[in-house]
Amino acid sequence: MTIGTITIQKLALADADVLLALSKKTFFDFFGHLNKPEDIEAYASVAFTPQKIQAELSNPNSHFYFAISNGEITGYLKLNYGPAQTEFQDPNAVEIERIYVLAEHHGKKIGHQFIDFTLKEAAGKNLQYVWLGVWEHNQKAIAFYEKHGFEVFSSHEFALGSDKQTDLLMRKAILSSSKPKA
C-alpha cells in the first residue's frame, strides 16, 4: 500500500533477518547514547535474537511493515492486536509497539505516514483507539505523538537491562468511519 511518499509493505517470516538487523540498528542509534552500554546490551540480547524476531513475525496478531522509499527500506512499524498487545489485550484497540525510522530518513514524514496508515487500519477494523508506550524522556517522540492527537492516559515500568524506566502510555480515539443513517 502506498501512503504519501512511501510504500508500506507487510512483512513475512522470510523478512526476519532484515527486520532483525533494522531493529538492532534503529534501537542502538536512538537509545544507545542515552543509556548505559551494559543495559542496552542486556536488553538487546533478549529482544533482538533471531528466535524472538521469528516468533513475533509468526504471531498472527502482530503485524510488521517496512516503509520503502525508492526501493530502500527506511523504517518499520509493528502493530499488535488482541492478545498480542503488551498491556491491555483490548479487542477494540491496536497497539503501536514499535515505530522506527532510520536516522538518515528523518524529516521525510515517514513516521507521519506510519501513523496515518495505522489510523486507517484501525478505522477499517472498526477499532475504538490506537495506543502506544513511549519513554518519558523521549520528548521528541512524545511531541510527535501529541501532534497526531495522542494523549497520555497512564504509565508503566519498562526494564532496560537493570534500569527501571517509565513509559508513558498514550492513546488516540478512532472516529467512526460509518455515516449516520438518514
Active site residues: 145
Q: Which of 69, 72, 90 is nearest to 81 (CA)?
A: 90
| SS3 (DSSP) at 55 | helix
For 125, residues 6+ apart whose C-beta sits below 8 A from its C-beta are 81, 94
Beta bridge partners of 79: 63, 96
Q: Which residue type occupies 14?
A: A
Beta bridge partners of 8: 67
C-alpha–C-alpha distance, residues 122 and 30, integer Å:
27
Q: What does DSSP assign to residue 128?
A: S
Q: Strand pairing of 129-135 and 93-101?
A: parallel
